Amino acid sequence: MADEPKKTTTDFLDQSEIDKLLTQERVQQAPRQHFVRADGERTAVGAAFKVETYDFRNPVFLSEIELRRLRILHEDFIRYLSARLSLFLRMELNLKMAKLTTATYEKFTESLPSPTHLCLFKVEPLMGIGILDINPRLALTIADRLLGGRGHSVKAERYLTEIEVALLEDIIQIILEEWCGQWKTEQELHGLIIGHESNGRFLQTSPKDAIVLALTLEVNFGDCSEQIQIGLPYYTIEPLVKKMQARRQKDATTSQAEKHSAWQKSYDRITVPVRAEWQAFELSLREISNLRVGDVLEMPATHLQETSILLNGTHKFTGTVGLDTDHVAVKLTKKISQEDTNHVKSDGRKNP
């Protein structure tokens, strides 16, 4: 019986070599990574394009630029509203933007506190119903001020009575007027109050998955510091946003395009005096007094190429003098810029 060959230590693999082989096997079996574009085309990982994370549970229909423009618009709205409410209440009322975000209608209504006071409003001629949420303590403090009180914070946590709701409608109407006034460049709007509620969980003014633009305001009125929230469906403000984008794009295109002056028929009969001059030389007063008819003044030939053309006394062109049949003509060779014109006198001579 033949002897079996003995195994040497070189026939075995150590742990590092085993791990290396396993890694190579995983790389070969792993599927190649790729991205799928919006049009369905697959793109390799190494392609040069920007990938951003997107939260499908909290969708955002407004870009960062659009949100920035809306934030600037609402900052103006807050500034004007603060001044107007202070005058109406005859007491300082400070407003500050706490948050401007987008959320689904379901999340927005779930975030509303309870108890609270909700005002349902409509912006004509736009579609959709908006929600204005005022903290009851702030609403009662404002109502107390409207009834002649000193504006001290009311500690009670209760629902508003019909009289207090009627008093508060004057404040809400001012808020709606100021908000609509910020969009007067895009469209004429009018705010209408259509109802009041005390609990946001039972509201059904929009679909649950509708996107809402939510504005949260911090209000400081006397010793009362509370919040006001304004929620508008995205489909309500979408026409305004599109008009704002179109107007800004049109303004940008107009500013970038070169403006050409158009000739008007009314210009045809306007006469402008034209004069050609040379800056030849200087003579003393005695030499000028000795001049007689028939004397010849010698001028360098180069002056013919440095003829100044004045339009209505303003140096506009430089030309060369020559003959055209039996007429003396000037060929325009250079247009004088506005900066050069400021350094030229009305007689064509340059200022020192």
Q: Model-level pTM?
A: 0.57
The pLDDT tens digits for 70-106 are: 888 899 999 999 999 999 999 999 999 999 988 889 8
Using alpha carbons only, what angle is made at residue 331 by residues 279 and 269, rounded to the nearest 5 degrees? Answer: 100
Contact 64, 58 (CB under 8 A): no
- pLDDT band at residue 7 using 50, 70 and 90 as cut-offs: very low
- Is it the case that residue 34 has pLDDT exceeding 50? yes
List CB contacts of 318: < 8 A, sequence separation 6 or more: 306, 307, 308, 309, 332, 333, 334, 336
The pLDDT tens digits for 186-232 are: 889 999 999 999 888 888 888 888 889 999 999 999 889 999 999 99
Going from the N-terminus, what domains does the chain have, and what CATH number goes with each?
Answer: 64-254 (3.40.1550.10), 272-283+302-352 (2.30.330)
